[in-house]
Amino acid sequence: MALAPGQVLQNRYRITALLGTGGMGAVYRAWDLRLEKSVALKELMPQPGLAPDALAQLKMQFRQEAVVLGKLKHANLVPVTDYFEEHSNDYLVMEFVEGESLSAFIVREGALPETQVVSWARQLLDALRYCHAQGVLHRDIKPQNVIIAPTGEAVLVDFGLVKLWDPANPMTRTVMRGVGTPEYAPPEQWGALSHHTDPRSDLYSLGATLYHALAGKAPPTASDRMAYPGQFRTPREWAQRVSEPVDLVITRAMALSCDDRWPDAGAMDAALAAASIEAQAASSTAGRSIDPVSASVSSQAPMPARAQDSTMPMFDAAAAPPGRHGSSIAWSLWVILGIVLIVIVLRALSPQLEFPTMTVPTLIPTRRPAGADVSAPPPEPTRPIASPTAGEALRIALLAPMSGDVAAFGQPIYDGAMLAADKWNARGGVDGRAIELIVEDSGCNANQAISAANKVIVEDAAKFIIGEVCSSASIPISDIVTDADVLQISPTSTNPSVTVAADGSTKPTVFRACFIDAFQGRAGARFASETLGASTAAVFLDEGDTYVTSLAEVFAAEFEAAGGQVVARESYASADGDFTEILSSVRDANPDVLYLPDYYDTVNLIARQAREMGIEAVLLGGDGWDSSDLDLGAMEGGYFTSHFSPDDDREVVQRFV
């Protein structure tokens, strides 16, 4: 059960905010009443239905984690200070590290200067060398788990997947077994062997983290690299200012084979130090400096021609196999929505300004237009420029999923907001006030979104919030902003409950820049009936997802009202993975169209399996498809409703395109 703000544990720790959840734990910020300081409190949250013996083993491992981490003392590791059990729940207390995650740093600044990244890397390698000497593996190194303290030091946090490691006995046991985050987890971490990880696994994850910091983009997953080995790009190929010596060190750390990586943290640290010296010498010879002060984001070298939007895989789009190309339509949509959100905020602030109005939703074919250059990258998003001097900054918070299953929706929203803020600041801001964007990763998760909203309202004093993307996260935010008298605008939360309270009243400070589920569902049904001439349809829905069920129910009702027949209606859980059984009924019914109103990751799986089974129905869906990660091969010939299309011939749209 989630702890509530104000709740006190052990008559000592008062909960102030939920910081995040993941795996089998939740982390809270709390106030230590005895020492009068902030701490981070981690709660063990086992999965429901766990067998008693398995639960006992898990709790024992959690206690062991506390013992192990409590013995670690290093300047670049977060100290563990306490462990206790209350009401049959287990808790671990750590020092609260003030600062900003490396992930947030990258989101705000993009690709970072090499000298700064190398400095942080060497600090983290020293921490890993210490941990490995103590027989401890981290197993979840990623930008979110690196905090940049106000002093500039990099601190490694969250040993939620810590493993005890004995060099003399490789058959060591995992304290908190897990596989980590795909972009940063080495391939062996997904294996079943009891000796499947060692210190070189942490070096892979650190290398992937440094890759992200240098390139400004997350690396591809190990599984993608194994599937398409010829399409891996090094950090230097994405950011030309990365020196070749440092590029080689990072690339070796990320070798797929353990034997091809650096043997230990000390060896990688020595190599990185030598590479940094070599790079600086080469830079001096070339007559240029890579000092971190001068090598700011605004002065970085141009990206190579193949550089892509950071929501896309680390592959050359032109060479990628079918289904891996990024969608320029999707990128444009999300950038437009980001700009629309800023415009709505500015409309509230400057009502004398004139803005274009929205029109009806657009049906977008997934087939590529003839002659379209799908490999051409979108323009690189600009970064914040110098602020106007007059007036206090106008603080606008952006809450979006910068990580997690639908992170492909978060980055373009961020890019659009940044683009709009830059344009307004370039002409003096709003009434002489510069726009300052405060970005928080809300993860498309209710608890994470609540924590992010409370943070920007209480700590950052923001009076305007853009977000969230998902309705499940926007709804709880809307309750918070209503009480706090803060303006919220969601870019794509289509559920009516975002703006309408349970009693039917309108939430006075909550808005959206998209169409609601009912409008989309009706538009899709009319298109199927009137434009495609479909007389039969099958409808798929995840009954546990309000977004999916809302679209599905409206589509089915509208389609039948237009004289069509729903010949199959099948329910599923998105976690199932195997949809062949319910797809069999669709194949037998042979409908003209198959309506799949889910997010792109689930739709990709269903569509691939449908095509493999020979189902030829035209695929239809909602705006959850609108992602650069949509499998265009499996979705060929399909359509989805959305809020914008670059084919719209209105002047305001074409001017932006």
For helices 546-561 and 471-484, what crossing angle results, to 10°? 110
What is the pairing mode between strands 536-542 and 13-22? unpaired
Q: What is the C-alpha R_g of the chain?
A: 25
Q: Taking Cα atoms as reference points, which of 559, 615, 619, 560 lies closest to residue 588?
A: 615
The answer to whether 569 and 539 are in contact (CB under 8 A) is yes
DSSP 8-state symbol, 497? G
E strand map for 149-296: 154-156, 163-164
Q: Taking Cα atoms as reference points, which of 104, 599, 6, 98 lies closest to residue 397?
A: 104
Tokens of 23: 């795996």
Helix (H) or strand (E) holding 398: strand 394-400
Cα dist from 514 to 506, 507, 568, 597, whole Å: 16, 16, 29, 16
Q: Taking Cα atoms as reference points, which of 307, 310, 118, 145 lies closest to residue 216?
A: 310
**From its phi and psi, is residue 244 left (phi > 0), alpha (psi between -120 and 50) or beta?**
alpha
53 is known as an active-site residue? no
Alpha helices in 365-498 (DSSP H): 407-426, 446-454, 471-484
479 three-class SS: helix
Residue 478 neighbours by CB under 8 Å, 6+ apart: 488, 498, 499, 507, 510
Give ∠ CA 441-121-228 in degrees, rounded to 5. 70
Tokens of 619: 């695929």
The answer to whether 77 and 412 are in contact (CB under 8 A) is no
d(CA 417, CA 469): 13
62 alpha carbon, distance to own chain's centre: 27
The answer to whether 78 and 124 are in contact (CB under 8 A) is no
Tokens of 364: 């977008």
- Active-site position among 32, 82, 126, 140: 140
Tokens of 572: 């599923």
Cα dist from 305 to 225, 326, 379, whole Å: 21, 15, 10
206 three-class SS: helix
Tokens of 168: 């003399």
Q: Taking Cα atoms as reference points, which of 59, 60, 6 lies closest to residue 30?
A: 6
d(CA 417, CA 382): 10
d(CA 110, CA 238): 12
Q: Taking Cα atoms as reference points, which of 366, 355, 653, 341 lies closest to residue 514?
A: 341
Report, as residue numbers or ranges, the catalytic residues: 140
